[in-house]
Amino acid sequence: MSDEAFDVLLKTCELKLERIVSRGHCTPRGQWYDQPQDEWVILLKGNARLRIDGQDEFVRLQPGDYIHLPAHLKHRVEWTDPEADTVWLALHYSGSEAG
């Protein structure tokens, strides 16, 4: 299995937009993403399963599905299709308070 591909498409001091290509990748056992910024992700191609810390059910993603992951929401990628590319578009940004 080759490494996941991360391509930064746009980056400013306030946001980063990246394209991620996975094939059979998952977060290493026992590790969690705990990011200081919000992340909005849409799955463009393939299939994936995420786990959100404290939730029993997986979040299943198919093309067109998206999810907002607030800053410091611990999450992990449990599975991506090992037979085909899974293509994500991820927007990382500083969240703003609703007012």
Dihedral angle computed from the Cα positions of residues 91, 2, 28 and 34, in that order, rounded to the nearest 10 degrees:
-20
CATH code of the domain containing 82: 2.60.120.10
pLDDT computed for residue 69 by the predictor: 97
* CA-wise closest residue to 54 among 36, 34, 38: 34
Q: What is the pLDDT of residue 99?
A: 38
> pLDDT per residue over 40-99, tens digit each?
999 999 999 999 999 999 999 999 999 999 999 999 999 999 999 999 999 999 976 543
CB 15 within 8 A of CB 92: yes
Q: Is residue 77 part of a domain?
A: yes
Task: Show the domain range for 69.
Answer: 5-93
Q: What is the pLDDT of residues 2-12, one digit of tens each?
A: 689 999 999 99
List, in order, residues 6 or more apart from 72 with CB less than 8 Å away: 34, 35, 36
pLDDT grade, residue 1 (50/70/90)? low
Torsion of Cα atoms, 98 then 34 then 94 then 55, to 10°: -30
- How many other C-beta atoms lie within 10 A of the C-beta of residue 49? 16
> Is 98 part of any domain?
no
Confidence class of residue 38 from pLDDT cuts 50, 70 and 90? very high
Q: How many domains does the chain have?
A: 1
Predicted local confidence at residue 98, as pLDDT: 45
Residue 20 in domain: yes
Is 99 a member of any domain? no
Decide which of 98 and 17 is more confident: 17
18 found inside a domain = yes
Residue 73, pLDDT score: 97
Is residue 80 a contact partner of residue 25, using CB atoms and an 8 Å limit?
yes
Q: CA-based diameter of the chain, in Å?
A: 46
